[in-house]
Amino acid sequence: MQTDILKTENNILLGREELKLIIKTDKTPSFADVVKLIAEQVKKPEESIFVEGIKGKFGRESFLVKAYVYKTKEDKEKAHPVKVKSEGQAPKV
């Protein structure tokens, strides 16, 4: 996989670094693959990286990725809490 960072922006208010990059590969990369790739490139732990999306177009071998790199794992969890579904409970209307 080949990566090219298009844009890096430091968001002081939210305490994160916002990345837009292009990944060139022959198949759609998984979120886990992208997190590992970004962690190696920016030299940060994988737990502090959140991938917002991976976009590709049919027939192309390049994918646009939007990701956020936080200072700590706790900062990431505050900004993007994990939603847990409880089984057997009716949805609230």
From the candidate CATH numbers 3.50.50.100, 3.90.1200.10, 3.10.20.30, 3.30.70.330, the one assigned to the domain spanning 2-66: 3.30.70.330
Name every residue whose Cβ is closer than 8 Å to that of residue 69 and which is 6 or more positions away in sequence: 16, 17, 19, 38, 42, 44, 48, 49
pLDDT score recorded for residue 83: 76
Mean pLDDT confidence for 62-80? 92
Q: Rounded to two decimals, what is the model's pTM? A: 0.81
| pLDDT of 91 | 59
Question: Average pLDDT of 36-51?
Answer: 93
Predicted confidence (pLDDT) at residue 40 exceeds the cutoff of 80: yes
Mean pLDDT of the chain: 88
Residue 18 binned pLDDT confidence (cut-offs 50, 70, 90): very high
pLDDT at 93: 57
